[in-house]
Structure 1
Amino acid sequence: MSELPTSGDRPEEEAAVQDAEFAPEPVLPEPVRQRVTVLAAAALPSLPADEMPVQMRRVARFAPNRRARLGGREIAAQLAADPLFRQRISGRVVTDAGDLGSAIVAGVAPGAADPVEVAALAYLARPDGWRDLIEEAGHAVQAEADSAAVANQLRDAEQRAARAEHDRAVAKVEADKLRDELARVREELGQVREEARANGKALREAQAAQKRASDLLATEKGRAARIAADHDAEVRRLKTRLAEAEALAATGKAAAKEARAADDARLWLLIETIGQAASGLRRELALNPSDKMPADFVADAVADRPGSPERSRARAQDTDDPGRLDQLLALPRAHLIVDGYNVTKRGFAEMSLEQQRKRLITGLGGIAAQTGDEVTVVFDGAERVHGLPPAPRGVRVLFSRKGDTADELIRQLVRGEPAGRPIVVISSDREVADGVRRHGAYPMGADSLLRRLSRS
């Protein structure tokens, strides 16, 4: 078996194979099965192509370090099912094993040899008594497994003993700590008892002091009652004196009334003389009577008065007057806030939104340059605006954020200004005008700005 069989020996090989097919395959221990697979995988490429089964040709092409792992299942199945293939593989494996292979072929198992290696070679070469060799290897492997299990159990027992010793040491340390803590608690308990005795003594002293205070309070209450009686007597005496003083005052009022009647007569004579002189002067200057007082002019300019529809219509007309807008912009440190689309859709509705914004911002730049005032224009930001040209100097361009409107942003700008600063809001939206007016701003209609821009 140490020499490779030639093609002339194949009938003898096939006869031996046929004799072996009648015996069932033994169950190999797992280490023996893995070693058989490794030996067969290493010898597989040395077989000629005509002696290699078709199923093994693909496995033979695997890399040596991957052949046993990837093709082990196919190799084991082929060895069990194809005695001729197994005999060819065994010839090369036995040759590679050297003296150990020759001893196995002779049916002798060296005592110093690895039982797994002996069983693997015996399975492939199948000398006389090969099943006994495999069985002995299985017993040896099982003995090693049992020995390893006993060693593992011994290690686990040692580890548990070490852990138990460690736990005992930890428990001893914890017990020492608990004894120290108990001593400390006892010491604190003694201190608490001392404090309780001191507090009891202080409580008794406080109760005695309270009793003394109660006695003193009763004494003071008697004294206060006497003082209150004296006070009531003094009040009655003062009331008597007050009645006498009131009688004297009534007498004085009567005398003063008589004196004032004379003074009133003299004053009436003087006023009548002045009135006649004023009437003559009015006729001489030809002055017509006025239906408005100075406060009416102030109210018409900067305030609201409910219940006056005529003045409301006049004020509405004033909000579209560009001259009124010029007067407001002439105020020092004025701030002009413009409702952008409210103005552009009234004046440039035929243009696109981009052209409307550009034209309005350009016109506001001229106003800012002429007046030096702060100018802010606000647009609704529901749609995102791309490619907006830079704003002129002195003009701030704002877009409301998503979920907000330009009207709300205008009201926030007005509320953010300090009280007393002139703020002019351009919008024909009545709700916006009323809202900013309540916060001290001057609302003007969109037409006032459009007329002002048309003059520029």
Structure 2
Amino acid sequence: MVEQERSDTATAAGTVPEADAAPAAREQLERPLPEGVRRRVVGIAADALSGLGPTELPARLRPYVKFTRDARVKRGATAIAAALETETAFRLKVAERVRLGQPDLAEALDHGAVPAAADPQDVAAAAYLLRPAGWTRLVEEVGEEVERAEHESQAAENARLLEKAQAELSALRASSRADAERARAELEEARHERDQAQRRLRSLEADTKRAEAAARKARAELDAQSAAAAPGRAAADAELRRLRHRVTELESALEASRRAAREGRSAEDMRLRLLLDVVVQGAQGLQRELGLPPLTSRPADAVDAVTPSAASPHDVARRGLEGDDPALLRQLLQLPQVHLVVDGYNVTKTGWPTLPLDKQRAQLLRGLGMLAAQSGAEVTCVFDGQDLDGPIPMAPPPRGVRVLFSRSGETADELIRRLVRAEPEGRPVVVVSTDREVADGVKAAGARPLPSTMLLRQLVTRP
């Protein structure tokens, strides 16, 4: 009765009685655990390490307790498997964890039954740890089943690989055939091109031979023509030497005639200069006899007008004379003591109508200053100032240019006519304006009218 109670207590605690455990312990595997079962067993033991105390662990496994579960499986798999095989107490502790975690599977194994839906590898791992009666048979059957499954899987994989290799081989053969066909086509094309190149080469060789023959014939004809032309070339050289000698003689004669002309001109110039000196000395004597004072002003300075502090004159009607060659203006400005009178706004509104009045005045005066410096003529520029509202600051006029504005109630045309009348009779006066009335008025007073376009061309084309 006591033995029966002890057996029941051991069974209830999840352990096998010593009388029952001895036969199970004596059972040994004839071959190693299948790899899949071994991994399951090591994984179960690695999970159980963290729940065991230091005294319950084999000494070889204590360093792995601080590792993570995956690190235990990876680094301590060999040590854990060896401890399960040699340390019965440690295996029983792990077996208790299996009974607690999978009680249905443990109970079925104790009764010698295997659940149909259970994973064979889980069954084999549990049987290896619990070691019920016939556990070696279960492990070996699972190993055979796993090996058979692996063999079938390997066979299927081999078949798949073989099929893939056959497909790749077929593709390679097709590709090889295509490459061979393409290579044959390219070879045929290369042969065709080679034949064409050979034909062209033969044609070029024939053309070269014909050209060489033609060159030899032309060279022979040239030699013959050179031999025939040699006498004529000698005669031409002799005629060329004779002509050069004749040219030298003519140049000598021309130089002699020029020298004689210069000597005759020198005598004429001497007589003319002597006559001019007599006239100048006579005029100076007459000036001293009459007691005339030195010339300190000009007639235009005496004409009453508005000097430029500055102004904003109104527009001037543009009535026209046609333009002409600016060479005429240059010839007139070369006359001695010439006075150039310019109708300012008439010229600027002809040449630069889009500019403001102050810019028109500045551009005209700048051009007149350069013209006065080049010609030495007296230059007076007249602007219309009859409706001036007040003085406008204006830059000093260029050297040699007089700037006048008409008085209130007077137009620039009237001021120009007064300037012309103030000049002595016989002095050359040139008036620039396209205004017909101005041109007719100054012409009647003895001045020479010119159109504004002529002055504008001179300002643009002067060097």
Taking structure 2 as the reference length, what is the TM-score of the superposition?
0.43
Computing the radius of gyration from Cα coordinates, the structure with the larger value is 2
With structure 1 as the length reference, what TM-score do the two structures score? 0.44
Give the number of the structure with larger relative contact order, counting CA–CA contacts within 8 Å between residues 6 or more apart. 2
